[in-house]
Structure 1
Amino acid sequence: MEHPAYSQLRPVTHSVGVVLCDNPSYTALEGTNSWIIRAPGDRAAVVVDPGPQDEGHLNVLQSRAEAGGAKVALILLTHHHGDHADGAARFRQLTGAPVRALDPRYCAGGEVLTDGELIRVDGLTPTIEVVATPGHTGDSVCFFVHGAGGAAGTDDDVEGIISGDTLAGRHTTMISETSGDLGDYLDSLRKLEKRSHGVRLLPGHGPDRADAAEVVEKYIDRREQRIAQVTAAVKELGEDATVGQIVDAIYTDVDPVLRSAAKQSTRVTLRYLGLPTN
């Protein structure tokens, strides 16, 4: 079974499968990937990013996660954006499982996640390492799935990285203007680059990828290129140039539909450079 496959549990690694929510959009691509962590024979399952408050999707997700008599024991959030997290409260009602996130405002019945934490669940073979990756939002985390139950920081048994919106399976990801930060994002990408070679990427949107490091390296190159372009444009146009003027200088063939996204990316870059966002 290949991506996209709606309302189906599509196995991706030995211990991880995905149910794709039917909520496609420009930012969500084909929809939100809701990840189920559960090795064959396990009595417990962990669900990462139940997605939007879509009753049909949540019911399908529960049935796939609990097939064969298993029970959803824990709900994890990669970050607070609605297409990943709005369904968490209802999914908790359906399953009785606690919700854990890096931001305490989005936890329910569970403790706040901590960077470097190794999550163990009774009845679940894999362990789940929490790796804070702020940038897309301040509360963004990735989950390293240790298929053999290994320890945090030892990557021999990491079979996949669930990345939320820190990395996408296709195209790039936007940085939130309200809670994101480009400097933090670059630091997070460099952290991931050191540990992602040959590890499968399990993104919040788009298809999974065989080597997460390839995606990370492209993201770093793309951001550094954009920083250089904005720096050059400001040097040529002056620091009083408007965001629109800078976009015109850089994005010479931008689709009008994407102009607002180009402006957002430019404002984020200007803030990183310590320049005004007129």
Structure 2
Amino acid sequence: MTDYTTLIDAETWAFIERTNSFYPPDTVDYGIDRQRAIYDRMCREFHAGYPDGIAVETTAIGTATHRIPIRIYRPGGNEPAALVLYFHGGGFVVGGLESHDDVCAELCRRTGCMVVSVDYRLVPEHVHPAAFDDAMTAFRWAADTQSLPIVLAGDSAGGNLAAAVAHSSRGHLRAPVGQVLIYPGLGGDHTKGSYVTHAEAPMLSVRDIEFYRKERFGGEEPAGDASAAPLHDADFSGLPPTAIVTAECDPLSSDGEAYRDAILSAGGKAVWFEEKGLVHGYLRARHTVGRARESFSRIVEATAALAKGEWPY
């Protein structure tokens, strides 16, 4: 049994306790509508507001019969270095444009990039590959209508979608110039690594992951489907330069290491940061926890570097 009393510092424990006061650890046992209501309330409580100097617009893309809401964040001043296509976390069950609104606004301000947040369809109403299809629609929209280089980014479930788009857009004329994956779930081996040592981690347990996975597929996960689990791809060549940032106290941490190794083995560029003593969902702690603040700065720096075509690693 992992001793979290020594791994996790007092600031992070305070964040965990505050989160649990809004979003109890047994929330996955509630109905979907109630889960969403609880999650949305929690996100409102943690919303840090907008930084100065950005413009925000909410619109929709897609076809006449299927519209996908997006929110566009534009920095003031100079022309953006790139377009960051951002996919939010939430286990494919919860979240949307509001849940990661302040994160995207700060990412825009601090990187000088245009950020586009994608409100992809959620499960169980829309099982896989609906979210992936929406993510690819958003990528094609960005490639077809925007002239800026494209960087893919996302946290948790959104990190899964960003990576899946990276795998599926290889060879595209406007293929992404980079991807930044924040504590992503990429389909790693549940019998080893962090899935074992951090199976009962605060904020996300293996039991939670199993719930979200069953909801996502409406049953069994399809075998060998890289659009569902990028680590199941047979080919990791041709992927964009990749920065992966994970939390040490998170069952998903090993996915970051495995994904980095797969890309490096295929001759690509990848770097993995495991943030000591942090937990899943720590983006919401970036203003109250020192370790989370430092990690968010690493995320900003990686995004800004990839946006400019740089690789400082």
TM-score range, shorter chain: 0.3 to 0.5
Query: Which fold has the larger relative contact order, with Cα–Cα distance below 8 Å and residues 6 or more apart in sequence?
Result: 2
Give TM-score, length-normalised by structure 2. 0.31
